[in-house]
Structure 1
């Protein structure tokens, strides 16, 4: 699904850190070591058909 982000991401929460993330090995292999975090937040987007969510 294609969409465009408008506005800022708000209410950012950390859901998982490090080894709690299922794909942390793939992330480290492709992008390098680091403190990987899985985040969740709220943002307004526009879908390709023009509907804002």
Structure 2
């Protein structure tokens, strides 16, 4: 992860779960079986160069495993 999430995630929502996730087999192989969900939210992030921006963040999560593979999908104004 080449950024740091500052503060809380806002407007969090699940937009895919179970077989609706294209990466389901890979996630289960790497992290284990679980009820996987793909989620998104808005957050303030700090980039490696120190820039602080608002961004839409996506990640995968499963009960008992936690949140994995955060990525910035787009920057917000």
Structure-1-length-normalised TM-score: 0.85
What RMSD over aligned residues (CA atoms) do the two structures have, in Å?
A: 1.4
The structure in which a higher percent of residues are helix is: 1
Instruction: Report the secondary structure of 1:13's partner residue.
Output: strand
Where structure 1 has 5 or more consecutive residues not aligned to the other structure, the ranges are none
Structure-2-length-normalised TM-score: 0.62
Output the CA distance in 2 between the equivalents of 1:26 and 1:8.
Answer: 28
How many residue pairs match? The answer is 53
Superposed structure 1 runs of 4+ greater than 4 Å apart: none
Residue equivalent to 1:24: 24
**Higher RCO (CA 8 Å, separation ≥ 6 residues):** 1
The structure in which a higher percent of residues are strand is: 2
Q: Could you give the per-residue CA deviations for residues 14-41 of structure 1, whole angstroms, max 9, x where no partner exists?
A: 1101011001011111111111000000
Output the CA distance in 2 between the equivalents of 1:29 and 1:2.
Answer: 24
